[in-house]
Amino acid sequence: MSKINILSTAERRKKFFGLIACIAVFTAATAGQIESNQRKEISEEGLTELFNAALFHVRNDYVDEASRQTLIFGAIRGMLSSLDDAHTRFMTSEETNELQTEMRGNFGGLGIEISQRDNVLTVVSPIDDTPAMRAGIKPGDKIIEIDKKSTRDLSLTDAVKQLRGKPGTSVNISVAREGEDEILYFDLVREVIKIQVVTSQFLEKEKIGYVRLKQFNQTATDDLAKAIGEFKKKKMRGLILDLRWNPGGLLDAAHRIGNFFIKSGVIVSTRGRKKELDRVFNADPSAAIAADIPLVVLANEGSASASEIVTGAIKDHKRGKFIGVKTFGKGSVQNVISLMYGTSMALTIQKYYTPSGVSIHKKGIEPDIKVPALDFTKDDRRHYREIRERKLIQEYVKTHPDYSVEAAKKMQKTFADRGLALSDYAAKRALKDEITKNETRPLLDREFDVQLLRAIKELSK
């Protein structure tokens, strides 16, 4: 017959607290051991063993089978993400080919340059005359969902992969925008993005050359030089270099284009951890094809990287006036390193500095003359969404097919009477866009582009 020990309440309490004390001692000892190990620097050999041990257990014990390649690629991405630099990333062979295609200026997608700021997918700039630009995507927009799926913890590489696709297919993105109380939703149709890097027009009356540079890719330098040459034949008296919405590109192209306007001195310098790799890019007098022409640079919150190199050089050398608003602030240099099996890695190796020695990374460049672009107010956007949903503007255009300021004012009053007030600018812009939606937009907008108008005014003095 088994013997049963009956403990008093006091004895049970004594044993319970004794057990708690043992656990506390064990926990404290374990924590102390962990803390000691954390303080101790692990050797290179030890780190390799640690990685292999983790890989072994995942390969052998994880609930689902995972390929070694998937795990190694993931480990590389994890290593690079620990650097907390959105511009440093690993690319598969497919993603490497996509990057090369993009730099050649012909690729499929939405026409949107994205980055990560504070671990949030952020628009750097929509590319001119693309689905993203036409839909109203803006620099600084936070993309929080793609096709109703959260972008939280989504890598930059995976985000680009989701946004791109076959031409004609659609994608929905949800955007949080500063100053907006509600999430904005955009249904975009992918297109083959063919970037005409340089577009230009000569203002005959003012004898001013206007050239828009959309990207610093492999053809940018020659295309811009050709446009400037054509302007010279027409005896231009001033030049407007439009870098708005230009997300950047190649450092070499930025150096050479900056040199077009500056005869001597530093265009840009790059500095990094390895001092022997620091470089100073100086102007070559023989390459300064437009150094004596009065110049205005247009740039804005969508102007980044190489655009800021050129803008910063022109501003620091007092070579021309920068009109617009503060630039994006992307002042780091990436080197695309070819790895094995067609893979590659974009690695931030340096930051660049303007001729005055200033780094604009995460700061941007302030304009000489601040001129904000015209835009819809918060109420404009709210009312305009309802106007579009109810097809009110389409109905109005049926009886007012021609654009005029008077027609816009009449429409403005009609909508205001229904509780859908629009500002003067919003009414004119909305009506004109609806009437001309199937027409090719002119390169220059002398009605609404106040930054362009100020540039013309400055050069006409």
Look at the alpha carbons of 312, 313, 315, 320 in this order and tell me if their dihedral is positive or negative: negative
CA–CA separation, 354 and 318 (whole Å): 12
Between CA 421 and CA 424 the distance in angstroms is 10
Active site residue 330: yes
Q: Which of 115, 200, 305, 307 is catalytic?
A: 305
Tell me which of 129, 242, 316, 449 is the catalytic residue: 316
120-155 per-residue burial string, b: 16 or more CB within 10 A, e: under 16: ebbbbbbbbbbbbbbbebbbbbbbbbbeeeebeebb
| Pair type for strands 295-299 and 238-242 | parallel
Q: Please, which residues have CB within 8 angstroms of residue 15's CB and are 6 or more apart in sequence?
A: 7
User: 337 exposed, middle or buried (CB, 10 Å; 0-12, 13-18, 19+)?
Assistant: exposed
Residue 269 is among the residues annotated as catalytic for this protein: no
Q: Which residue has the tokens 């150096």?
A: 255
CB atoms within 10 A of CB 313: 27
The Cα 227–Cα 435 span in angstroms is 32
Catalytic residue among 321, 330, 428, 432: 330
DSSP characters over 51-118: HHHHHHHHHHHSSS---HHHHHHHHHHHHHHTT--TT-EEE-HHHHHHHHHHHHTEEEE--EEEEEET
* Catalytic residue flag (residue 205): no
Find tokens 């993309």 and name the residue. Answer: 143
d(CA 188, CA 168): 10
Torsion angle, CA of 423/442/406/457, rounded to 10 degrees?
Answer: 70
The DSSP symbol for 275 reads: G
State the DSSP code for 126: E
Active site residues: 305, 316, 330
